[in-house]
């Protein structure tokens, strides 16, 4: 499984923890930055991760910033991306089961490393249920103004 990962400066430390955690499990990762805690804009990392998932270069994306909101909003600008802001494992599991989320977004300042690892584990190992959720998910991408 190929995973694109990225964060801004506020998510850098958590990104490094999760990057190591996933590499130890044998996942293939591409780190899109940030590469330090120096100030960085979340959109600069959200867009390449989302583009990689959107273009099917990666199976999933993993993003984090301080609150998780900014980086999540930027990723969701991409058609076909369903980035889910998750703060606990149950929400991460439901994001996959019911929403077929393809990017997990974490609020680095508001989640423990342990809970973040649980979120990642469930997100990557939970299948989309389909069924009644299929039409709902389709309506996300098919909407036009």
Catalytic residues, which ones? 65, 98
Structure tokens that stand for 36 in this block: 């330090």
32's tokens: 């899109």
Cα separation of 132 and 1, whole Å? 27
User: Which tokens sit at 59?
Assistant: 């199976």
Cα 116 to Cα 92: distance, rounded to the nearest angstrom? 10
């Amino acid at each position: 499984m190929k995973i694109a990962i990225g964060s801004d400066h506020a998510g850098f430390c958590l990104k490094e923890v999760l990057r190591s955690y996933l590499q130890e499990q044998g996942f293939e990762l591409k780190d899109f930055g940030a590469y330090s805690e120096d100030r960085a804009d979340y959109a600069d990392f959200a867009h390449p991760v989302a583009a990689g998932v959107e273009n099917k270069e990666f199976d999933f994306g993993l993003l984090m910033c301080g609150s998780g909101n900014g980086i999540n909003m930027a990723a969701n600008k991409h058609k076909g991306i369903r980035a889910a802001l998750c703060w606990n494992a149950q929400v991460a599991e439901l994001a996959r089961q019911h929403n077929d989320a393809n990017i997990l977004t974490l609020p680095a300042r508001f989640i423990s490393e342990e809970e973040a690892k649980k979120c990642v584990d469930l997100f990557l190992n939970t299948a989309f249920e389909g069924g009644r959720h299929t039409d709902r998910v389709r309506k996300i991408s098919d909407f036009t103004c």
